């Protein structure tokens, strides 16, 4: 009998444990620092758990060497994820953009079926058991926890990253691996709200808009996306913002976010609409110019942003003024001050360097028998189920223990 310890009972660790337990010669133990496993999983997808994306491919992942992820992702594809969860009895539903959720719309369902499968496989879970240190002991390992030590023959580090600190995001995994000689790259939050100069967002707090988003640095567009944008107390958030947030973290201050609230509509079409409104309702105040086209508060803000006094009547607006308002709606620019940091980030960009791991097994090239999976490695995915897909795929591969 071989003992396998998995440090971390999150998405990748639970999958790694199930994968290792398929070999009946393995006794598998999960050490989890929190009171219960899968705590972060319960908060994913706003509590609905966007568990995979049917379009996930290596191209959706980032890191110093994103190609590293290819083997694991191709060995355990989104289709495999769906078949795996279906075999556990989970019903799922695909939504727009290939995002898959449990039919119950509750992340609890995902964790529940994993928990039942772990019980059935005889995997032991020790909760409230943070691994403090791990070291080589002969051909095996000893893991030291606050309440005692555990010996094992193979060790899988699945401690996740720094993102979502309130849900248990910590740096422990990097430190455990560092002591085995593993280096890590610079860490920063990705899929994270952006902090912008305060003037506009605070007044727009709570508004959601559909927009094309561009991230510009020195006048050049460095990233773009489309979809929902939410204004927050300190800046902007939402799926379309998350999509450019990794690039924004790299740019830092000096970059700007440009929002086009009329994506998919031509400037001619919008000019005609504004002229028609001027003709039909000349007595209306200019602040009402965009009424029905944008959220009221946002519409008023765009008029103000174009430098037009709210009390001026629409009929008195020149073509040039209409054009200015339209330009503001199509290029609503916010100065970037930074990101909201690890507390609000959904994933950690950067991590333990993949150069020192074999992509075909996820075994350490420095320490035989030591494996790592999930977010602790320097791989992060796009927004939309890609990070959990990496957790499942890499957990599945690491749990094979080189088989």
Ligand X SMILES: Cc1cc2nc3c(=O)[nH]c(=O)nc-3n(C[C@H](O)[C@H](O)[C@H](O)COP(=O)(O)OP(=O)(O)OC[C@H]3O[C@@H](n4cnc5c(N)ncnc54)[C@H](O)[C@@H]3O)c2cc1C
Residues that bind ligand X (CB under 6 A): 7-13, 31-34, 39-41, 43-45, 49-50, 130-131, 158-160, 163-164, 167-168, 170, 172-173, 346-347, 374-375, 385-388, 391
Q: Which is nearer to ligand X, 240 or 326 (CB)?
A: 240
Write the DSSP string, 96-124.
GGGEEEETT--HHHHHHHHHHHHHHHT-E
∠ CA 121-125-131, nearest 5°, is 135
d(CA 23, CA 285): 73
Q: Which is nearer to ligand X, 118 or 325 (CB)?
A: 118
Q: How far is the CB of 191 from ligand X (least distance, A)?
A: 7
Closest residue to ligand X in the complex (CB): 10
Please say which residue, 108 or 258, places its beta carbon nearer to ligand X. Answer: 108
The least CB distance from residue 150 to ligand X, in Å, is 11
In whole angstroms, give the CA distance from residue 52 to residue 86: 13
Rounded to whole angstroms, the Cα distance separating 345 from 333 reads: 23
- Please say which residue, 160 or 369, places its beta carbon nearer to ligand X: 160
Supply the minimum distance, in Å, between the C-beta of residue 239 and ligand X.
10
- Asked if 101 and 92 touch (Cβ cutoff 8 Å), the reply is yes
Minimum distance of ligand X from residue 72's CB (angstroms): 13
Do residues 366 and 181 touch, judged by C-beta distance below 8 A? Answer: yes
Q: Between 167 and 293, name the residue whose CB sits nearer to ligand X.
A: 167
Residue closer to ligand X by CB (options 191, 326) is 191
Q: How far is the CB of 390 from ligand X (least distance, A)?
A: 7
CB-nearer residue toward ligand X: 160 or 299: 160
Q: How far is the CB of 381 from ligand X (least distance, A)?
A: 7
Given a contact cutoff of 8 angstroms between Cβ atoms, the answer to whether 75 and 361 are in contact is no
| CB-CB contact of 231 with 207 (8 Å) | yes
> Which residue spans within 314-363 are E strands per DSSP?
332-339, 347-349
CB 224, min distance to ligand X, A: 22
Task: Identify the helix (H) or strand (E) that includes residue 173.
Answer: helix 172-178
Phi, psi (rounded to 5 degrees) for 161: -125, -160
Nearest C-alpha neighbor of 128 from the set 104, 107, 147: 147
């Amino acid at each position: 009998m071989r003992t396998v310890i998995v440090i971390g009972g999150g998405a990748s660790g639970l999958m790694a444990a199930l994968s290792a337990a398929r070999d009946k010669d393995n006794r598998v133990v999960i050490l989890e620092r929190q009171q219960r496993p899968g705590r972060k999983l319960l908060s994913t997808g706003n509590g609905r758990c966007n568990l995979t994306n049917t379009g996930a491919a290596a191209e959706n992942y980032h890191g110093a060497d994103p190609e590293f992820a290819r083997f694991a992702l191709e060995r355990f594809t989104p289709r495999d994820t769906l078949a795996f969860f279906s075999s556990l009895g989970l019903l799922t539903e695909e939504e727009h953009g290939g995002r898959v959720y449990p039919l119950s719309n509750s992340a609890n369902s995902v964790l529940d079926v994993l928990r039942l499968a772990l019980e059935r496989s005889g995997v032991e879970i020790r909760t409230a058991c943070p691994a403090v240190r791990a070291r080589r002991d002969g051909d095996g390992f000893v893991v030291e926890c606050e309440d005692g030590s555990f010996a094992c023959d193979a060790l899988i580090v699945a401690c996740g990253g720094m993102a979502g600190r309130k849900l248990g995001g910590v740096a422990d995994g990097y430190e455990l691996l560092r002591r085995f000689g593993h280096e890590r790259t610079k860490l920063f939050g990705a899929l994270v709200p952006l902090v912008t100069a305060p003037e506009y967002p605070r007044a727009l707090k709570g508004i959601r808009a559909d927009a094309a988003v561009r991230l510009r640095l020195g006048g050049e567009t460095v990233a773009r996306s489309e979809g929902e944008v939410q204004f927050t107390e300190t800046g902007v958030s939402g799926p379309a913002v998350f999509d450019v947030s990794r690039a924004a973290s790299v740019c830092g201050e000096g970059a700007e976010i440009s929002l086009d609230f009329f994506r998919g509509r031509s400037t001619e079409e919008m000019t005609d609409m504004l002229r028609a409104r001027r003709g039909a309702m000349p007595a209306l105040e200019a602040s009402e110019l965009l009424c029905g086209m944008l959220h009221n508060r946002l519409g008023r803000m765009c008029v103000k942003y174009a430098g037009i006094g709210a009390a001026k009547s629409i009929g008195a607006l020149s073509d040039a003024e209409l054009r200015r308002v339209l330009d503001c709606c199509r290029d609503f620019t916010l100065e970037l001050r930074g990101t909201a940091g690890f507390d609000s980030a959904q994933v950690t960009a950067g991590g333990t360097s993949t150069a020192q791991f074999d992509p075909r097994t996820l075994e350490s090239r420095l320490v035989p028998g030591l494996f790592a999976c999930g977010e602790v490695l320097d791989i992060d995915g796009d927004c939309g189920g890609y990070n959990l897909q990496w957790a499942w795929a890499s957990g599945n591969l690491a749990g094979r223990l080189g088989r």
